[in-house]
Structure 1
Amino acid sequence: MISDNDTKLKKAIRESNCVHIRDIGHTIALPVEKQYGKDKQFKTYTKAVAGVKVREAMRETGYLLPPRQRTVARFMNLSQTIRWSKNMQRIFASPSANGKQAFDFVNTYGKTTGELSCIPGFVNYALKLIRSEGMSRKSIGMCLKEMDKILKKNNKRINRFKLSVRQYLEQERDKLANEKSVWNASSDMIESLFGCHKFKRSRNPLHGVTACVLILPLLTRTGDRGHPSAVGFKHCLEGVFMKDLESWTKDNLTDNLAVKRRKKLAG
């Protein structure tokens, strides 16, 4: 069973006696966060990146602003910001005097970003390989080999990152049933599915989970263009009536707090 590293999900999977496959995207970002998340230089750098986007937005150098930083899972999306910093260091002689002052922090924290710059290359390689070919002894071996090839810098944080990734990959390898086993190790499809559901559901949190959740099976892609699914979605939908939805909602969902609030306030 695949999931991220959420404590509740891990406990549920463990108590269900299922094998837990950790999502590679979330898991491989954890050692990056562990090594750099509390680092003063890195925190000051990210603060400067966020600040310059606000200060320079409507100025002459606005076209050079850094990419937007994510507040959630930001350690999974560092590559664009690090690449921007390296490019800014490369063209630093070009901007005007005001631009030099505004973006001077890219040089100030160049050592930190330079150290980090090799990590996205390996992470992107590992994610692309595992997501497309699955988790297998072969793909794990290729990742370990590529990690030693790309992450050549010999310092404590890089070495600790490599050790954490190696332990993760070796632990996942030990879970494989046999030499030929290939397992999915990415929860991207699940997250995309629920992302579509979140887009369609009400923005009012009081509504909670409604019968709209039943749209999830329709959002899944079963089969492919050459071999479409044998599931008769049209026939299934035609056989479901509003009374069936009401009955299912009553049996499976909690009270809709938005409706409860409206009735209560209406007197």
Structure 2
Amino acid sequence: MPHFTSVINWSLRIGLGLLQQVAPIDVPWMAIIDHSIDVGTKKALVVLRVPLAALALRGAALRLEDCQCIGLVVAETVNAKTVAQQLKAIFARAGLPSAITKDSDATLNKGVRLWMDQAQTTVALTEDLGHVMASALKAQFEPTEHYKRFTTLATKAAKALRQTDLAFLVPPKLRSKGRFLSVAKLARWGEKMLEVMAVKGRAKKGSTLARLRAFITAFATTAVTVSQLMEILKNKGLDPHTEAQCRQLAEHLPADSRVKQRFCLWLDHHSAIQRHLTDLPLIVSSDILESLFGHFKYILERSPQADMNRTTLLLPALCGNPDQATLANALANASHGDLVAWETAQIPIPSARKGQHSLPPIKAKKREILRSNNGPISTS
């Protein structure tokens, strides 16, 4: 039976081999790009290639086997210029996409537009629906006093209900980052608590929950409607049929709702892109990249050193559905020496380690100090 380190090295060689096999394809495709979460001092820019027909063929949300990792760059410095340089190298090898899907990150936006300017080309740009809706929900609700009181109430309820007979009523955990990406769970909890406390005698008259009833109802209606809109578009894509469904569903939101206004603007813009680009449903979500990062994070958590190194080559290996011949070819064309060479060229040395490498050996430094204080050191 092979040692586990051998299995790890084989997996990394497959990832490197698959990256080296990237080449242009004949069918129209979309690039989904994003930066990973910070691991240590580094971030990884990952670019996935997804055929425009993938969503229609699957009939449901994308899965990792529908994608190919065509770009992987690990860096400590991330700005528009570095993103543009990285995309130039990736698309020179993989060919030009028909469209690029990304979130609303300013660095990615500037980097993609800088790359297009430098390449003197134009590619359709689509915004990830989940991040757009999260930003709209945040803009509408987070500044309000009612929302702050509601989240405070949820935090107190969680502390009071844990490890009690009523633990099934504990609210969902409030995330510090990306809270509004999953805020529908909190909204549904609020609705549930209103139902539980609606029975006479269960809540004091004039309680905080009672005073927040109107806000919770409006908040839940908005968040749940947004969740339904995203479920349709993430699973079926955007085409004339789903556009009509979503416009009808959006009518449930108040006319002055910021969320409704932002969604309608997004829908108008992306419907025009879909009509110009393809007859197929348009992919409007980058969730598949979040799924890939989730798989990688789970693997990385088992590592004693939480830092990005050549283990990032697992990302290409987690994508697609390569056959035996493709895997054999990837292994044959990526040796252990190639792994070492790739790591040396691609993985930047952390600043702290650079400082360590520049220091003279401890013994030599000690001898130098003694020599300066006491004169020549006898070696006899």
TM-score range relative to shorter protein: 0.7 to 0.9
Report the Cα offset of residue 121 of structure 1.
3.1
Q: Which residue of 2 aligns with 1:120?
A: 223
Q: Using a 3 Å threshold, how does the CA distance of structure 1 residues 95 and 245 change in structure 2: closer, same or farther?
A: farther
Q: Distance in 2 between the 1:221 and 1:15 partners?
A: 29
Report the Cα offset of residue 66 of structure 1.
1.5
Q: Which residue of 2 aligns with 1:175?
A: 273
Report the Cα offset of residue 59 of structure 1.
4.2
Q: Which residue of 2 aligns with 1:225?
A: none
Q: Using a 3 Å threshold, how does the CA distance of structure 1 residues 237 and 106 change in structure 2: closer, same or farther?
A: farther
Q: Which residue of 2 aligns with 1:108?
A: 211
Q: Distance in 1 between the 2:269 and 2:146 partners?
A: 32
- Contact 1:135/1:182 (8 A) holds in 2: yes
Q: Which residue of 2 aligns with 1:145?
A: 248
Kindly indicate whether residue 195 of structure 2 is the aligned counterpart of residue 90 of structure 1: yes
Q: Which residue of 2 aligns with 1:249?
A: 343
Report the Cα offset of residue 7 of structure 1.
0.6
Tell me which moved more, 43-52 or 230-239.
230-239
- Contact 2:187/2:224 (8 A) holds in 1: no
- Choose from 229, 232, 240 the match for 2:326: 232
Q: Using a 3 Å threshold, how does the CA distance of structure 1 residues 238 and 12 change in structure 2: closer, same or farther?
A: same
- Contact 1:126/1:143 (8 A) holds in 2: yes
- Contact 1:61/1:95 (8 A) holds in 2: no
Q: TM-score, normalised by structure 1?
A: 0.81
Report the Cα offset of residue 65 of structure 1.
1.8
- Contact 2:184/2:223 (8 A) holds in 1: yes
Q: Secondary structure at the match of 1:184?
A: coil
Report the Cα offset of residue 238 of structure 1.
4.4
Identical positions, percent: 20
* Deviation sequence 1:78-130 (CA, Å, 0-9, x none): 22222222222222166997xx47xx433221111111121133212221211
Tell me which moved more, 165-174 or 70-79.
70-79
Q: Secondary structure at the match of 1:67?
A: coil
- Choose from 12, 22, 33 the match for 2:111: 12
- Contact 1:10/1:20 (8 A) holds in 2: no
Report the Cα offset of residue 250 of structure 1.
1.6
Higher strand share: 2
- Contact 2:142/2:148 (8 A) holds in 1: yes
Q: Which residue of 2 aligns with 1:34?
A: 139
Q: Which residue of 1 aligns with 2:260?
A: 162
Q: Secondary structure at the match of 2:295?
A: helix
Q: Distance in 1 between the 2:143 and 2:235 partners?
A: 33
Q: Distance in 2 between the 1:9 and 1:133 partners?
A: 26
Q: Using a 3 Å threshold, how does the CA distance of structure 1 residues 36 and 94 change in structure 2: closer, same or farther?
A: same
Kindly indicate whether residue 236 of structure 2 is the aligned counterpart of residue 133 of structure 1: yes
Q: Distance in 2 between the 1:161 and 1:92 partners?
A: 29
Q: Secondary structure at the match of 1:5?
A: coil
Higher helix share: 1
Q: Secondary structure at the match of 1:183?
A: coil
Q: Secondary structure at the match of 1:91?
A: helix
Q: Secondary structure at the match of 2:197?
A: coil
Structure of greater relative contact order (alpha carbons < 8 Å, 6+ residues apart): 2
Q: TM-score, normalised by structure 2?
A: 0.59
* Deviation sequence 1:40-87 (CA, Å, 0-9, x none): 110121022112212332445434222222222221222222222222
Q: Distance in 1 between the 2:360 and 2:268 partners?
A: 58
- Contact 1:19/1:175 (8 A) holds in 2: yes
Q: Distance in 2 between the 1:115 and 1:93 partners?
A: 17
- Contact 1:67/1:80 (8 A) holds in 2: yes
* Deviation sequence 1:166-186 (CA, Å, 0-9, x none): 011111122232572432111
Q: Which residue of 1 aligns with 2:167?
A: 62
Q: Using a 3 Å threshold, how does the CA distance of structure 1 residues 52 and 265 change in structure 2: closer, same or farther?
A: farther
Q: Using a 3 Å threshold, how does the CA distance of structure 1 residues 108 and 231 change in structure 2: closer, same or farther?
A: farther
Report the Cα offset of residue 240 of structure 1.
2.5
Flag the structure with larger Rg: 2
Q: Using a 3 Å threshold, how does the CA distance of structure 1 residues 164 and 36 change in structure 2: closer, same or farther?
A: same
Q: Using a 3 Å threshold, how does the CA distance of structure 1 residues 28 and 93 change in structure 2: closer, same or farther?
A: closer
Q: Which residue of 1 aligns with 2:186?
A: 81
